[in-house]
Amino acid sequence: MTRRCSGCHARFWTPGQRVPELLATRTTLRLGGPADELVECRTEEDVVAAVSGADATGRPSLVLGGGSNLVVTDQGFPGLVVEVATTGVHVESDLCGGAFVTVAAGESWDELVVRGVTEGWVGAEALSGIPGRVGATPIQNVGAYGQEVAETIARVRVWDRDAAQLRTLFPGDCRFAYRTSRFKEEPGRHVVLSVTFQFRLGTLGAPVRYAELADALGVSLGERAPSVEVREAVLALRGRKGMVLDADDHDTWSAGSFFTNPVLEAAAVPHGAPGWPQPDGRVKTSAAWLIERSGFGKGHGLDRGAGRVALSTKHTLALTNRGGATTAELLSLAAEVRDGVRDRFGVTLVNEPVLVGCSL
């Protein structure tokens, strides 16, 4: 029997009753065993009550957004999964300060981008087509095509589980860096309740900083193009790489890029590999280049065994579920690729998605 709290819409079950909720139904990889219990929280109060209630009793809990950056073990999660499904967007806009947009953590990220492009909020247009919810964007400082959320985040409201209190964190507190942040460094400590962005106003997007996007738009690096066109160009580029969710396309049954681009001392960058200098003097290189040159081409894995896991046929960085796969199979493919790159180049790739109950 399912009980629903009238005020909070959270789902509860009678004590002792196990209602397994397959996490495979909640992840874009479509992988993951059952959770002991799952509550869908539609208000901040419910999110805090669920998490702090679990903390008070020492029960393990997992905060879930859209499940697009999660690899969950086949054994599932032995505790409470708290799905953040809060809604609400509050806008304060003026010509001087731009648009201050405070967004509930459960809102869809891409719907926010669409609204931004429509209403003339500048700074997120290149982040079009990224799945998941707003509350997860600060966790790994979501980024693509030369933009990242750290550039427009003004503050993040969190429930700090260590201190058991609400806190407001400003960018200086968040330690944002390439695909990471304080939230990722201190896993599970902060539950993001809302994110406030400060966007400049205008119809032109931010200066284009990614060569492939600049080419697609027919502008030079550093030039600007209408936000609407930037969004269209990004969606087209992403689509060709299987990076826009499509239930009918197994190349998109993924967690996006499985490995981050390694940031290395300049001398350690393999000969011929692309390199992007970083502010700290190191150089970021391309994980996809390393993977391909290590013998793992697009579609690697399709012709092996049951072919249930494989590199995407459109993009070597995405590990995909071709249907009926297990997390163990996916991790085995990931380990094969990581070890192959390490043997060939001496570079150890690091997984981008969060691993729950499993390791690589």
Ligand X SMILES: Cc1cc2nc3c(=O)[nH]c(=O)nc-3n(C[C@H](O)[C@H](O)[C@H](O)COP(=O)(O)OP(=O)(O)OC[C@H]3O[C@@H](n4cnc5c(N)ncnc54)[C@H](O)[C@@H]3O)c2cc1C
Q: Which residues are catalytic?
A: 179, 257, 352
For the bound state, the minimum distance from the C-beta of residue 243 to ligand X, rounded and expressed in Å, comes to: 4
Residue 113: which of 126, 104, 100, 102 has the closest Cα?
126
Asked if 130 interacts with ligand X (CB under 6 A), we say: yes
Those residues with Cβ within 8 angstroms of residue 40's Cβ, 6 or more apart along the chain or in another chain: 9, 10, 11, 83, 85
Asked if 67 interacts with ligand X (CB under 6 A), we say: yes
Residue placing its CB nearer to ligand X in the complex, 54 or 245: 245
CA distance to 32, 304, 315, per residue, from 321 (Å): 12, 14, 14
Segment lying near ligand X (by CB under 6 A), choices 5-13, 64-72, 219-227, 300-308? 64-72
| Backbone torsions φ then ψ of 298, nearest 5 degrees | -60, 140
Residue 153: which of 162, 143, 164 has the closest Cα?
143
Segment lying near ligand X (by CB under 6 A), choices 16-24, 130-138, 266-274, 276-284? 130-138
Asked if 147 interacts with ligand X (CB under 6 A), we say: no
Q: Which residue has the tokens 């070597």?
A: 316
Both tokens assigned to 224: 């600007």
Asked if 35 interacts with ligand X (CB under 6 A), we say: no
Rounded to 10 degrees, what is the CA torsion of 287, 66, 28, 53?
100
Asked if 128 interacts with ligand X (CB under 6 A), we say: no
Asked if 192 interacts with ligand X (CB under 6 A), we say: yes
Both tokens assigned to 72: 């969950």
| Backbone torsions φ then ψ of 343, nearest 5 degrees | -65, -40
Count of residues that interact with ligand X, criterion CB under 6 A: 33
Segment lying near ligand X (by CB under 6 A), choices 134-142, 170-178, 287-295, 323-331? 134-142
**Residues 163 and 189: beta-carbon distance below 8 Å:** no
**Residues 288 and 316: beta-carbon distance below 8 Å:** yes
Asked if 32 interacts with ligand X (CB under 6 A), we say: no
Q: How far is CA 111 from the centre of its chain?
A: 15
Q: Is 27 left (phi over 0), alpha (psi -120 to 50) or beta?
A: beta
Site for ligand X in 233-262 (CB under 6 A): 243, 245, 252, 254-256
Site for ligand X in 75-114 (CB under 6 A): 84, 105
Return the sign of the alpha-carbon dihedral for residues 29, 31, 34, 35: negative
Asked if 139 interacts with ligand X (CB under 6 A), we say: yes
For the bound state, the minimum distance from the C-beta of residue 102 to ligand X, rounded and expressed in Å, comes to: 14
Asked if 28 interacts with ligand X (CB under 6 A), we say: yes
H or E element that contains 330: helix 327-345
Segment lying near ligand X (by CB under 6 A), choices 60-68, 262-270, 294-302, 327-335? 60-68
Asked if 51 interacts with ligand X (CB under 6 A), we say: no
Segment lying near ligand X (by CB under 6 A), choices 58-66, 160-168, 217-225, 302-310? 58-66
Residue placing its CB nearer to ligand X in the complex, 252 or 313: 252
Which one of residues 8, 70, 290, 319 is an interface residue with ligand X (CB under 6 A)? 70
Q: How far apart are CA 289 and CA 316, in angstroms?
A: 9
Residue placing its CB nearer to ligand X in the complex, 65 or 116: 65
Helices (H), 202-267: 211-217, 227-240
Residue placing its CB nearer to ligand X in the complex, 140 or 261: 140
**Residues 134 and 148: beta-carbon distance below 8 Å:** no
Residue placing its CB nearer to ligand X in the complex, 124 or 345: 124
Which one of residues 143, 146, 262, 357 is an interface residue with ligand X (CB under 6 A)? 143
Residue placing its CB nearer to ligand X in the complex, 112 or 290: 112
Q: Which residue has the tokens 């702090």?
A: 52
Contacts to ligand X by CB under 6 A: 28, 62-70, 84, 105, 130-133, 135-137, 139-140, 142-144, 191-192, 243, 245, 252, 254-256, 354
